[in-house]
Amino acid sequence: MGMAVMAATLTLVHETDADDLLYGLYLEKQLTPEEREGAVWLPDYQLVSQVELLGIDDNASGLTWNPQTETLFAVLNGPNQVLELSQSGDVLRRIPLNGFQDVEAITWIGGDNYVVADERYQSLVTIQVTPDTKEIDRTNLESVTIGIGAGTNKGFEGLAWDSQDNSIYVVRERDPMQLMKISGLHNQSRHQFGVHVDARLEETVRSNNEDLSGLHIDPRSGHLLVLSDESNLVTEIDKTGKPISYMELFEGWHGLDEEVPQAEGLTMDDNGDIYILSEPNHFYRFSKAG
């Protein structure tokens, strides 16, 4: 089925208020049994909890999971901070980020290490967060600047670490929307550093979304989960650029009593639960039904 026909059909399904089961059955018909078995499969997810982050009034943004601490880490950009969160959305600690301008995304890259995106300067900065970390100063931290649209407020909005090849995927929000793969970021020699754009992946994210606001890579399937705030949508995509499944973030879908207002962060834990962070301070947890 062509992308235009698929998009029109999905719109029709949404506008006729078909339930999640019917929607999932439609999507399932587009896949081989092998593709369905190996997928994250977003139609199966239902909301299990929704809270407001205590003490956080605004600017909740990127989100990542650390399997070693079994906690989540988020960023705020006013003032710039890292938050450590429980799986229930409890704020465990707040870590000031000194010298940063506009932090919008974070991804765990193993151990105590994370990469954060400073949107205004299009910089990826490596930070360490240990159990004893009280604050983080940008001075002398390892960073790389990718000056695509630097100085604007439509820059890097999502980061995801691919543990299979130690690369980082980056999404640019819009004008234009972009999905890039950064390799060699932490190699001893920067001669191996590279920025790669996969035309198939980029075509898919552009055709399905009005903007890009978050990203996660499922280590089991290798599939990308792409979040769009303006489209109120999570899209599962395989590495060839094929759309696999979708999760609508509108009222009435996946157990939501109201639509997610401004989805800005997305991650998944070791059990496959999906977490979404929305401005100003909303925290959502979705699990597979049954």
For every residue of 48-90, DSSP letters joined together read EEEEEPTT--S-EEEEEEETTTTEEEEEEETTEEEEEE-TT--
The tokens for 279 are 């401005």
Q: Are 273 and 279 in contact (CB under 8 A)?
A: no
pLDDT at 8 over 60: no
Question: What is the distance between the alpha carbons of residues 62 and 187, in angstroms, rounded to a whole number?
Answer: 25
pLDDT at 177 over 80: yes
- pLDDT, residue 32, reads 83
**What angle do the packed helices 3-15 and 199-208 form, to 10 degrees?**
30
- The pTM (predicted TM-score) of the whole model is 0.89
Segment 219-256, tens digit of pLDDT? 999 999 999 999 999 999 999 999 999 999 999 999 99
DSSP-derived pairing of the beta strands 136-137 and 91-98:
parallel
Segment 133-161, tens digit of pLDDT? 999 999 989 888 876 555 455 678 899 99
**In 10 A of CB 110, how many CB atoms?**
13
Segment 58-69, tens digit of pLDDT? 899 899 999 999
Give the percent of the chain with pLDDT over 90: 61
- With H, G, I as helix, E, B as strand and everything else as coil, classify residue 207: helix
When pLDDT is cut at 50, 70 and 90, the band that residue 188 belongs to is low
Say how many domains are in the chain.
1
Domain of 65 in residue numbering reads as 3-288
Cross-strand partners of 181: 169, 196
pLDDT at 7 over 50: no
CATH of the domain at 79: 2.120.10.30
pLDDT at 51 over 50: yes
- pLDDT, residue 106, reads 98
Segment 89-130, tens digit of pLDDT? 999 999 999 999 999 999 999 999 999 998 877 889 999 999
When pLDDT is cut at 50, 70 and 90, the band that residue 14 belongs to is very low
